């Protein structure tokens, strides 16, 4: 199972774009990249998933370069309510354990 590395913490201000990069040098051919968001005292919540290039949904974009050894979650115009921990997961469907890394603690300031 591919190990992921993320920054421990990041700070931003309301209205700014935030980019969180995750490294996964040992990603396997069949692995997908998934990002989750977690607020205190709650379970993580799915944000976005991708395999290659770019994926966009109503809350975020995910950029994956051709070598797939990293990925970047982009949050446009963050607000105070985006303050949370963001986790990057790498794995495939079927028999996979879905291991969470340490995550990135994002603090959005007024």
Partner 1 sequence: EADIYQTPRYLVIGTGKKITLECSQTMGHDKMYWYQQDPGMELHLIHYSYGVNSTEKGDLSSESTVSRIRTEHFPLTLESARPSHTSQYLCASSEWSGGNTGELFFGEGSRLTVL
Interface contacts to partner 1, rule CB under 8 A: 32, 34, 36, 41-46, 49, 51, 87, 89, 91-103
C-beta closer to partner 1: residue 87 or 106: 87
C-beta closer to partner 1: residue 99 or 107: 99
CB of 23 to partner 1, least distance (A): 16
Q: How far apart are CA 84 and CA 90, in angstroms?
A: 20
Joined tokens for residue 17:
């774009």
C-beta closer to partner 1: residue 59 or 98: 98
CB of 48 to partner 1, least distance (A): 10
Residues 6+ apart with CB under 8 A from 43: none
Per the CB < 8 A criterion, the answer to whether 105 and 87 are in contact is no
CB of 31 to partner 1, least distance (A): 8
Q: How far apart are CA 43 and CA 20, in angstroms?
A: 20
């Amino acid at each position: 199972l591919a190990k992921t590395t993320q920054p421990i913490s990041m700070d931003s201000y309301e209205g700014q774009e935030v980019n969180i990069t995750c490294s996964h040098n040992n990603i396997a051919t069949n692995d997908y990249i998934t990002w989750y968001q977690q607020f205190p005292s709650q379970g993580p919540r799915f944000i976005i998933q991708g395999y290659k290039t770019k994926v966009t949904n109503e809350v975020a974009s995910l950029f994956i370069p051709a070598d797939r050894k990293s990925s970047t979650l982009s949050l446009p115009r963050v607000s105070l309510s985006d303050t949370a921990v963001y986790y990057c997961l790498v794995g495939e469907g079927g028999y996979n354990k879905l291991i969470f890394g340490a995550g990135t603690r994002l603090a959005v300031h007024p």
